[in-house]
Structure 1
Amino acid sequence: MPGAAAIAAVPPHVFCRVVDVSLHADSMTAEVYAQASLVADNEEAERRMREREDGTACDGEGEDVVKRPAWIPHMFCKTLTASDTSTHSGFLVPRRVSEDCFPPLDYGLQRPSQELVAKDLHGTEWLFRHIYRGSAWRCYLNEDIPEINMFFERGTLD
């Protein structure tokens, strides 16, 4: 364990680079949170970042490079209410959310739709029907579920 002198030498602000972000949910409370892994930048990187206020950084050869995130999470949270689950067994999904979070629909079909299976924190699978009608995207629940928070995140099959 480092001594008090070593801890006191740490500056109050340390420039860091985010190298990984993973999304999690607590299985007991269903609280959603992100875990970020950081690596401290060296003094040269800190100096360059302080000099630049315009969103660009230097690539080491004097060329400006726009920094963009390598990975953007695709997620959506919806609190299902009694009317979502009992009246019409469905809820509206904003178009951007549908395009970001769900697999693409086949718009060549007369009524584009697909079955989606979502797994909750406890391993229970829920069946949804994702439908596009006119200008509205809807998700229909194939079974009644209690009033809960639904958190959709695009995943991978690995």
Structure 2
Amino acid sequence: MIGGVACDADAETALYSALWHACAGPFVTVPREGELVFYFPQGHIEQVEASENQAVGQQIPNYNLPWKILCRVINVQLKVDPNTDEVFAQVTLLPEPKQDENIVYEPPPPPPRFHVHSFSKILTAADTSTYGGLSLLKKYAEESLPPLVRF
């Protein structure tokens, strides 16, 4: 399948974000900058140990950390592993000075939403032939591709 996309302002960022979210799937949510989240150190420690292939039954070091830490999201980067094409988000957190989970919190305003037009098409033999060319429905071409400029 192929897709055609046309975007409004800040097209490259909007397109990258739309494609990243499409690859991540409909059930993936990523926190936004400024939001408050909880960080669970134990889960992170267990993931690091699993990725380093620690021997089963080996003693997990005690870091004397609380079981959850209230943090503010200060940066989010949507990334793709170049070796596996797996999408992931790199989220930078800053612990809140006051660890009160009952804190009154106002979420940041939603980011501007860019309208991304897209379509998909299953390629046919005619689309892949040397002399053919890609044939699209006029509706999709008009909605998703920039207008042709005549000189």
TM range (shorter): 0.3 to 0.5
Q: Which has the higher helix share?
A: 2
Tell me the TM-score normalised to structure 2 length. Answer: 0.36
Tell me the TM-score normalised to structure 1 length. Answer: 0.35
Q: Which has the higher strand share?
A: 1
